[in-house]
Chains A and B, each alone.
Chain A
């Protein structure tokens, strides 16, 4: 293209809407006008979406194709309160704990951009603590299932053998994400507290860690609906 005519050079800030998408993707420059770490985290989360979705679709396939009876999750995950069996109580508590941790993480990101180091670190610590609580309850849930209900990845006493395989695979992979997230959050909290982000002049790192944590919460929304309520 003849660059001498200055009128054809696109404006620095492309138009919004669909035209903006075309301009962003066709330009000879960075497509995503976000910090590179944020773009990379989004792309990682996209790949993780595919992994989790494959697990859930595999679970759907074996559940739909088995002729054996599928155990009722509402009964398996019931807790007894004052002698009454309340269905899914443990899962409900775990859900609320994880949603709350997402809320505290959103606060941490917000306080980070407000340059409030102490509140940011406190919110991250609260998030990590709630994450540990979640994993703790999952350990309790697994112990209960393995020791008392006799459920194994290859079978169980109450119906379809695929139940154990799906359960341990899906919740185990999610629990692994929560555990790794807690370690991730604590390293970010350390950087907040010792002033690394202050010297760097931005708190993007907190937002990127937040994306990961919200994603873990997001995956639980799908597991909760598709595994425990189905």
Chain B
């Protein structure tokens, strides 16, 4: 591997986190904590439905819990927080483009809905 030519002394943070040389190696306790946290967050999102919350409160909670769980999985389980920024940006920025598609389709769906209400009912 090309990067093996890098002396470890020049890259203390690589040696400290395992980096690209020995792979991702972290304390087992960290994984257990994240595992437990995912359980708790899932229980909360389940309770949102069980308690029959409605409106913005329901949607706020569902989205916050969803993003928190996704963030934990990507950051810790998939080791994203220990990767170099060049990889992190390459993977995390493109999905933001989907927000454009999402808003386009949402406004289109709204229009279709209104048209159907006006002409087909």
User: A107 contacts B77, CB within 8 Å?
Assistant: no
A-B contact pairs, 13 of them (CB 8 A): A20-B84, A21-B85, A34-B84, A34-B87, A39-B87, A42-B87, A65-B109, A65-B113, A65-B116, A99-B42, A100-B35, A112-B23, A225-B63
Q: Does A224 contact B (CB under 8 A)?
A: yes
Across the two chains, which residue of chain A brings its CB closest to B59? A230
User: Known: A16-B85, A102-B73, A204-B23. Is A74-B117 also a contact (CB below 8 A)?
Assistant: no
From B11, B20, B108, give the contact of A35 (CB < 8 A). Answer: B20
> Out of A107, A114, A218, which one reaches B31, CB within 8 Å?
A107
Chain B interface residue count: which class? Answer: 35 or more
- When A74-B49, A106-B35 are in contact, do A64 and B102 touch as well, CB less than 8 Å? no
- A32-B106 contact, Cβ under 8 Å, with A16-B13, A96-B39, A103-B31: no
Inter-subunit contact B73/A109 (CB<8 Å): no
**Which A residue's beta carbon lies closest to that of B74?**
A218
A11 lies within 8 A of B10 (CB): yes
Q: State the CA gap A229–B41 with chains docked (Å).
A: 14
The residue from B2, B13, B49 contacting A87, defined by CB atoms under 8 A apart:
B49
Q: Which residues of A contact B110 (CB under 8 A)?
A: 64-65
A20 to B86: give the CA distance in the assembly, Å.
Answer: 7
Tell which of B6, B10, B34, B35 has the most Cβ of chain A within 10 Å.
B35
Q: Which of A35, A54, A109, A222 contacts B66 (CB 8 A)?
A: A222
C-alpha gap A20/B13 in the complex (Å)? 13
Contacts of A210 in B (CB 8 A): 77-78
Q: Which residues does A use to contact B, with CB under 8 Å? A: 11-13, 16-18, 20-21, 24-25, 29-35, 39, 42, 45-46, 49-50, 53-54, 57-58, 60-67, 74, 87-88, 92, 95-96, 99-100, 102-103, 105-107, 109-110, 112-114, 202-204, 207, 210-211, 214-215, 217-218, 221-222, 224-226, 228-230
Given contacts A11-B10, A102-B73, A110-B26, is CB(A24)–CB(B39) below 8 Å?
no
Given the interface pairs A67-B113, A67-B116, A110-B26, the reply to whether A99 lies near B86 with Cβ below 8 Å is: no
Q: In this complex, what residue of B is CB-closest to A104?
A: B35
